[in-house]
Amino acid sequence: MKASRGVVAAGHPKTAEAAGTALAAGGNAFDAAVAACFAACVAEPVLASLGGGGFLLAKPAYGEPLLYDFFAQTPRRKRIEQETDLRPVLVNFGDATQEFHIGPGSIATPGAVAGLFAIHRDLCRLPLSVLVAPARDFARRGMMLTAAQHHLATIVEPILRASPEAFAAHASSARPGDLALPGETVHQPHLADALELLVAEGPGLFYKGDWAERLIADCGRVGGHLTRDDLSGYRVVRRRPRALEYRHSRVYTNPPPALGGALILFALRLLAEVPLGAYPHGQADHVQALATAMRLTQRLRREGLADIDPNEDPLALEILGIMRREASFPRGTTQISVADVDGNLASLTISNGEGSGYVLPGTGIVLNNMLGEEDINPEGFHRWPRDRRISSMMSPTLLELPDGSSVVTGSSGSNRIRSAVLQVISDLVDFGLPLDQAVGAPRIHFEGELLNLEPPVPSSTLGALQTRWPQIKLWSALNVFFGGAHSVCRKADGSLLGAGDPRRGGTALVV
């Protein structure tokens, strides 16, 4: 498919529209990614917020890939547990439930504002006012709620109801006290005003100015950890992506201290030990190989060795041996992927966790709950190290294929991010699936001792798996639990195509 400017895949039509507006105005892929990220904070408020953080994997047309780390940072001071407002909330995914923790005590130092300004300064062509304008207009004029966003809101409704301010971005104007239904319009006037002020005053407003003072005062008063030093000392970190050769393709992804990228690359190293492409897609041998790689990768994470050298460390070599023997039979996050006609590639993943329930007064900005995320606090709550960039599963990823095509991908979904990205890569490389099929194909996810399977699963495959995996959960349909891997591709001839993940209302737009 030929395009004049570029292609974007994102989790909401308005998020993609904002990116398209930037491309049409002469912006590059990075302009589009920044515009889309601001818009996602309005259109996808369950998943994205300027009170969260994220990562951008940027590949300039004539340069090396570069990773922008603007994820959340742990506070420099830790209040005693008895003074902290950190409370549990149970979230129901339909076929599974998960406990999260919210409240001011769950807020880590947010990096989204600093990250977007840094990306704009380094890589973008258009004025920031142009990039923010679609998001501001969406917030002021109102957003018509999609079925996918309504579904996400119902899942995390207990968190949204933590405060009237948090609920406001999801409330029905026709039925006070209820969630807005698909087709209803929701206005966010405070957020519109905040976006205008942020463009006028810059990131200092958030980290050193009036907004910072409001946040610090509230954290001190209602049981949060953040101090003035946390906000003023926050820095965006630029890193070299981690890379791996996989079956004549090259994968670039998020490096440590983020864990997701290292786990994905190790799983690919494991899959390289078996002839995966020779197995029927979705059948027993294929699923067995994927599940085994996920189980062994989980072992590395549990033992704190996710970043070891897979070719030298004795444990890694042992696990590679297990893979050869066993692989065959006898979490609020959104993804934005952009490619432009000049060859610039951008994969941006942003997360607010599920939101803390605390809204920065007068702004409509919901702060993150990263200190309350079990997935990124495996040692237990209140045990986080001070002043440390929080490790994340978010894995914006670039895949360079042997035919000269480049694919930009990544996913939402907490611990499911690594399995979603792994399977998109494998489906493209091992099975040669078209992009839309690679993104939409049923997924699996292994965690704890449970093997989760998306339908359809042939009865013969299920029966064979049950002999090796005693705990299996067969989901009733494709589900948001398995992530949202919105992806784009720039082919060797310059043609562009995209695929939004149907699990999270994804959409693709060619401009």
User: Three-class SS of residue 88?
Assistant: strand
Length of the chain: 511
Q: Pick from 72, 360, 50, 49: which is nearest to 210 by CA?
A: 360
DSSP bridge pairs for 144: 185
Residue 184 is encoded by which pair of tokens? 């209803």
| Interaxial angle between packed helices 13-24 and 29-43, expressed in degrees from 0 to 180 and rounded to the nearest 10 | 150
Phi and psi dihedrals of 16, rounded to 5? Answer: -65, -40
Tell me the one-letter amino acid at 451.
Answer: L
DSSP bridge pairs for 348: 56, 336
How far apart CA 163 and CA 161 sit, in angstroms, is 5
Using an 8 Å Cβ cutoff, are 112 and 50 in contact? yes
Q: Please give, one letter per residue, the 3-state secondary structure of 38-64.
A: HHHHHHCCCCCCCECEEEEEEECCCCC
Question: Cβ contacts of residue 161 below 8 Å, gap of 6+?
Answer: 167
Task: Give me the active site residues, please.
Answer: 333
DSSP bridge pairs for 59: 345
How far apart CA 154 and CA 147 sit, in angstroms, is 11
How far apart CA 144 and CA 118 sit, in angstroms, is 31
Distances (CA, A) of 465 to 220, 270, 293: 52, 19, 15
User: Three-class SS of residue 308?
Assistant: coil
Residue 304 is encoded by which pair of tokens? 């704190």
Pairing of strands 143-144, 185-186: antiparallel
Using an 8 Å Cβ cutoff, are 332 and 414 in contact? no
